[in-house]
Amino acid sequence: MPEATLCIDLLAVVRKNLEESLRRKEIRRLESAMADALARVDGALFARQPAKEREHIACRAGCGTCCVVNVGVLYPEALRIVRHLQQTLTPEALHQLRQRLGEMYHQTLGLDDEERLFLRKPCLFLDAAQNCSIYTVRPILCRSVTSANAEDCRDALASVALGEESPVLMNLLQKESWEQLFTLWGEVIEAAGLEGRSQRLVTALYQLLPQAEPEEIFWSGARWRSL
Ligand code: SF4
């Protein structure tokens, strides 16, 4: 196992909590298990990275450079975002979001990662100040993108248009830790007989937001394609 991964004890607790919440099929317990896991990973990363090292993370409020990529979410992550939106947006704002999701869904349908980048269309949740408007419930994979140099990110995006590749120096501890949590969650959910595969954020929300009780669909074991 590479050094840049989460410790076995932490993963065991995260697994146990998630398994328990899935067995009980209670959305609040599931959300609590997810919030607990996210806080544990945040805490572990903070403890393992000296302040000097953290200073080298370029990602911060006001930089949405990378928010033009395909982002994958697990079903419970999408449910968490849907609940957040329902609790924080007015009915009118929700209606407008559904319309914009529909447009984005059709514009990006079938695009691979490179084609999506080339489109240069920002995520619907990136606000005018280049901040993530769903920051507290943002997907795990958004958390995993931690660049050491914002200029590298801009160069990398520009080079896509030229058909070239430009490297981005990443914080591997952050990247691999969040990806490890993402993989673990997917495996545990799948082992519980539920949909453990990821879906594009836009597609997931386009499908789930209009549903009256999206969590009931999850608990039924429905797969993404049958929605
Ligand atoms: S959810 Fe937030 S962090 Fe993720 S791509 Fe969208 S705006 Fe960026």
How far apart (Å, rounded) are the C-alpha atoms in residues 143 and 178?
Answer: 7
Instruction: Check: CB of residue 100 under 8 Å from CB of residue 108.
Output: no
Range in 42-51, 87-96, 212-221 the model is least confident about: 42-51
Q: Could you tell me the distance, in angstroms and rounded to a whole number, from the CA of residue 23 to the centre of ligand 1?
A: 30
Percent above pLDDT 90 for the chain: 69
Residues 111-119 have a mean pLDDT of 87
Q: Residue 161 — pLDDT band, cuts 50, 70, 90?
A: confident
How far apart (Å, rounded) are the C-alpha atoms in residues 105 and 21?
Answer: 31
CA dihedral 71, 73, 77, 80 (to 10 degrees): 50
**pLDDT score of 44 more than 90:** yes
Q: What is the pLDDT of residue 114?
A: 84
Q: Which single residue is written with the structure tokens 């609590």?
A: 32
Q: What is the pLDDT of residue 166?
A: 84
Query: Measured between alpha carbons, how far is residue 8 from residues 34, 133, 137, 180, 190 in Å?
Result: 17, 33, 25, 11, 20
Range in 24-38, 70-84, 165-179 the model is least confident about: 165-179
Q: What per-residue string of b and e applies to 36-46 under the rule 16 or more CB within 10 Å gives b?
A: ebbebbeebbe
Q: Could you tell me the distance, in angstroms and rounded to a whole number, from the CA of residue 24 to the centre of ligand 1?
A: 30
**Could you tell me which residue, 55 or 116, shows the higher pLDDT?**
116
Residues 89-102 have a mean pLDDT of 96
Structure pTM? 0.92
Atom of ligand 1 nearest to the CA of 68: 5
Q: What is the pLDDT of residue 145?
A: 87
Q: Which single residue is written with the structure tokens 């990806």?
A: 179
**pLDDT score of 196 more than 90:** yes
**pLDDT score of 227 more than 70:** no
Instruction: Check: CB of residue 68 under 8 Å from CB of residue 119.
Output: yes
Q: Residue 9 — pLDDT band, cuts 50, 70, 90?
A: very high
How far apart (Å, rounded) are the C-alpha atoms in residues 114 and 41?
Answer: 29
Atom of ligand 1 nearest to the CA of 64: 8
Q: What is the pLDDT of residue 40?
A: 97
Q: Which two tokens stand for residue 189?
A: 């959910």
| pLDDT tens, position by position, 127-143 | 999 999 999 999 999 99
Give the 3-state secondary structure percentages of the chain, helix then strand then coil, rounded to 5. 60, 5, 35
Q: Could you tell me the distance, in angstroms and rounded to a whole number, from the CA of residue 64 to the centre of ligand 1?
A: 8
Q: Residue 164 — pLDDT band, cuts 50, 70, 90?
A: confident
DSSP 121: P
Cβ < 6 A, ligand 1 pocket? 64, 67, 71, 123, 125-126, 132, 134, 138-139, 142
Residues 200-220 have a mean pLDDT of 95
Point out which residues pair with 73 in neighbouring strands: 199
